[in-house]
Amino acid sequence: MDNKNTSSNFIRDIVIEDLKSSKVKEVVTRFPPEPNGYLHIGHAKAIVLNFELADEFGGRTNLRFDDTNPTKEDTEYIESIKEDVAWLGFKWDGLYFASDYFEEMYNRAVLLIKKNKAYVCDLSPEEIREYRGTLTQPGKESPYRNRSVEENLELFERMRRGEFKDGEKVLRAKIDMASPNMNMRDPVLYRICHASHHNTGDKWCIYPMYDFAHPIEDAIEGVTHSICTLEFEDHRPLYDWVIKECEMECQPQQIEFARLNLTNTVMSKRKLKQLVDAGFVDGWDDPRMPTISGLRRRGYTPEAIRKFCREIGVAKTNSTVDHRLLEHFIREDLIDKTPRTMAVLRPIKVVITNYPEDKEEIFEVDYNLDAPEMGKRPVPFSRELYIDRDDFMENPPKKYFRLYPGNEVRLKDAYIIKCNEVIKDDKGNVVELRCTYDPETRSGTGFTKRRVKGTIHWVSARHAVPAEFRLYEPLINDDAEGDSENFLEQVNPNSMEVLQGFMEPSMKDARPMDRFQLIRIGYFIVDNKYTTDEKIVLNRIVALRSSFKVKK
Ligand code: ATP
Ligand code: MG
């Protein structure tokens, strides 16, 4: 694979220290998504970090589905997550499901009860919240806190047998209702939920809470470094409490790092699901989505995503990364990998009046001058062409070097033409430009010393292949800055522009997921959802340039 991340970060330093002091013999990490949606670019950061860290020190990384929440999870998500991790270029050592540990977790909960470290509580969810107190006020003890061990054992078993309704009872840890850390105020360990689970079916009607389940999952798998995002920093004492009181043999260490936030993006499966469900996008893999599947359909490469994830680094404070940094890495990755061809997205016809009607020339032009091994393609030239509307102005401002009445431009890899006449329809729209060409000015022949300031792209009308082009802008308007709750109001209504244009004939056999650099327009990929035998649809991956400056 490409260059690994051997630049230092504080988690890597901890790992090196732990190996040196023999605290751990082998580094074991895991990537533990909840299968309640598709993975996004934030997950890619966690994936790259976990897999590359273990890999660097000859360790192992598991893919573990944290499937403890039956109502939100689905096998569709499981399949997509596996596909995305593999596509990003990573091979997991073990593939596990938290739900496979339910029996073990239940037994550990029974152990807690026997040690008088957990109790069944009948308070309602609202009452539990009330009793918890606030940051400035200690909580109140539940009236059920001092139930006997025997009674708790019996009630917990009856919870498991399904004798109670959802919300009627919970199992709570018995820690400290006055702890300054709210997470330690007798947190809920188990709740009742009569719902079918994608893996265990109807076997269970009680489900462990994240804070109880996660440390046990890690410990069962022998995870040494359990890396999670900063919101869990305050949960660490509870993580350690569970490991200790449940008497787990392995003692994983939880380490928190800053999650990735991107400008003009929401990044939480819950919110992304809302965008899908409300129809703002055509699915989780819409090319505007920050999901891995969206980025894939948009034309991103795993290499570009991995490089981006390494470059943003691993920090202890949250920040928001400019989404244009991600674009920088795909541009950099595609520059010498992609054939360069011509297409016209907003066509306007050009007639070369001094070019014979029945004549045609075929120019042999390099696919990519920087990568001559890609070979050449035939580019036909004839009397009628299309150019882009943007490359013509009837009344241009100063320093406009493209086509206007009386001006000359070079047609890329062809001739210099001059615009002599502008034809309009009844409504005054420009429909055709009458031009003449100078036969002495063929590109690459060395005959001509004549230079003009502008070069524009074009397609021979007779040979042009119709195609649809989709141009994208960020899905979320700028002022949204990260993950605000009213993001649905900030959805950009102009995030996609669909254009019907033409491409040069060398592209007519393009297949879904083929990439091109369309000269002067940007990098494009053939869409794998809407392309048919009749029509090719291309998504713009990214424009060629950006005003964004990358700090080196
Ligand atoms: P979401 O809110 O998008 O569902 P999550 O954290 O609940 O995110 P999980 O499926 O639990 O999603 O995440 C699996 C792993 O990915 C966790 O270890 C989590 O810390 C990490 N992760 C999730 N989002 C980000 C992010 N934006 N940046 C870095 N890591 C992330
Ligand atoms: Mg989540």
How distant, in Å, are the alpha carbons of 62, 97, 144, 530 from that of 30? 4, 12, 37, 36
Cα 43 to ligand 1 centroid, rounded to whole Å: 5
What pLDDT score was predicted for residue 446?
67
What pLDDT score was predicted for residue 193?
98
Structural domain includes residue 2: no
Position 484 pLDDT exceeds 80: no
Q: Which of 225, 257, 289 is the last residue of a domain?
A: 257
Q: Is 309 exposed, middle or buried (0-12, 13-18, 19+ CB in 10 A)?
A: buried
| Cβ pair 429, 392 in contact under 8 A | no
Q: Which of 227, 257, 287 is the last residue of a domain?
A: 257
What pLDDT score was predicted for residue 483?
60
Residue with CA closest to ligand 1 atom 16? 43
pLDDT in tens, 287-337: 999 999 999 999 999 999 999 999 999 999 988 999 999 999 999 999 999
3-state secondary structure 171-240: EEECCCCCCCCHHHCCCEEEEECCCCECCCECCCCEEECHHHHHHHHHHHCCCCEEEEEHHHHHHHHHHH
* Sequence-ordered alpha helix ranges (H) in 379-430: none
Per the listing, tokens 């009844």 go with 426
Quick one: 229 and 378 in the same domain? no
SS3 546: coil
3-state secondary structure 277-289: HCCCCCCCCCCCC
The Cα–Cα gap between 484 and 230 comes to 18
Domain residues for the domain of 422 are 343-457
483 lines ligand 1 (CB under 6 A): no
Quick one: 79 and 194 in the same domain? yes
CATH number at residue 353: 2.40.240.10
φ and ψ of 14, to 5 deg: -65, -45
Counting every residue, how long is the chain?
552
What pLDDT score was predicted for residue 3?
53
Quick one: 433 and 482 in the same domain? no
The Cα–Cα gap between 299 and 319 comes to 26
269 lines ligand 1 (CB under 6 A): yes
Q: Is 155 exposed, middle or buried (0-12, 13-18, 19+ CB in 10 A)?
A: buried
Quick one: 140 and 222 in the same domain? yes
Query: Could you tell me the pLDDT band of residue 549, with boundaries at 50, 70 and 90?
Result: confident
Structural domain includes residue 211: yes
33 lines ligand 1 (CB under 6 A): yes
Nearest to 248 by CA among 256, 240, 258, 259: 240
Residues in a beta bridge with 95: 63
Q: Which of 211, 233, 257 is the last residue of a domain?
A: 257
Quick one: 471 and 487 in the same domain? yes
Quick one: 383 and 532 in the same domain? no
User: At 253, which amino acid appears?
Assistant: Q
φ and ψ of 451, to 5 deg: -125, 145
522 lines ligand 1 (CB under 6 A): no
Position 92 pLDDT exceeds 80: yes
Quick one: 295 and 386 in the same domain? no
Q: What is the largest CA-CA distance in the chain?
A: 101
Structural domain includes residue 4: no
SS3 509: coil
Nearest to 97 by CA among 126, 125, 77: 77
Pocket test for ligand 1, best of 30, 31, 80, 229 (most atoms within 8 A of CB): 229
The Cα–Cα gap between 515 and 513 comes to 6
pLDDT in tens, 152-193: 999 999 999 999 999 999 999 999 999 999 999 999 999 999
Q: How many domains is the chain built from?
A: 3
pLDDT in tens, 409-418: 999 999 999 9
Quick one: 310 and 369 in the same domain? no
| Cβ pair 527, 469 in contact under 8 A | no
Proximal ligand: closest to the CA of 262: 1
Active site residue 269: yes
Please give the torsion angle defined by the CA atoms of residues 12, 18, 21 and 27, in that order, rounded to the nearest 10 degrees: -100
Residue 343 is given by DSSP the state E
79 Cβ neighbours under 8 A, 6+ residues apart: none
The Cα–Cα gap between 114 and 107 comes to 10
Q: How many helices (H) and strands (E) does the chain have?
A: 12, 27
Structural domain includes residue 550: no
Q: Which atom of ligand 1 is nearest to the CA of 37?
A: 4
Nearest to 90 by CA among 38, 53, 57: 53
The Cα–Cα gap between 53 and 33 comes to 18
Active site residue 158: no
If one counts every other C-beta atom within 10 angstroms of the C-beta of residue 74, the result is 13
- Name the pTM for this structure: 0.95
Quick one: 128 and 168 in the same domain? yes
Quick one: 275 and 406 in the same domain? no
Please give the torsion angle defined by the CA atoms of residues 103, 105, 109 and 112, in that order, rounded to the nearest 10 degrees: 130
Structural domain includes residue 433: yes
Cα 444 to ligand 2 centroid, rounded to whole Å: 58
The Cα–Cα gap between 505 and 344 comes to 12
SS3 467: strand
35 lines ligand 1 (CB under 6 A): no
Cα 257 to ligand 1 centroid, rounded to whole Å: 11
Handedness of CA 217, 222, 223, 225 (dihedral sign): positive
Q: Which of 45, 259, 324, 418 is catalytic?
A: 259
Structural domain includes residue 462: no
How distant, in Å, are the alpha carbons of 15, 142, 172, 176 from that of 139? 38, 9, 14, 9
Residues in a beta bridge with 340: 517
Q: Cα 134 to chain center, whole Å?
A: 37
SS3 484: coil
Quick one: 179 and 75 in the same domain? yes
Position 429 pLDDT exceeds 60: yes
Cα 34 to ligand 2 centroid, rounded to whole Å: 6
Residue 439 is given by DSSP the state G
For the chain, give the mean pLDDT: 95
Proximal ligand: closest to the CA of 232: 1
Quick one: 282 and 395 in the same domain? no
Structural domain includes residue 548: no
Cα 73 to ligand 1 centroid, rounded to whole Å: 15
44 lines ligand 1 (CB under 6 A): no
45 lines ligand 1 (CB under 6 A): yes
The pLDDT of 271-284, averaged and rounded, is: 96
What pLDDT score was predicted for residue 479?
63
Structural domain includes residue 20: yes
Q: Which atom of ligand 1 is nearest to the CA of 34?
A: 10
What pLDDT score was predicted for residue 8?
84
Q: Report residue 550 as tokens.
A: 């990358």
Q: Which atom of ligand 1 is nearest to the CA of 47?
A: 16
What pLDDT score was predicted for residue 6?
60
Q: Which of 60, 174, 269, 402 is catalytic?
A: 269
CATH number at residue 128: 3.40.50.620
229 lines ligand 1 (CB under 6 A): yes
What pLDDT score was predicted for residue 26?
97
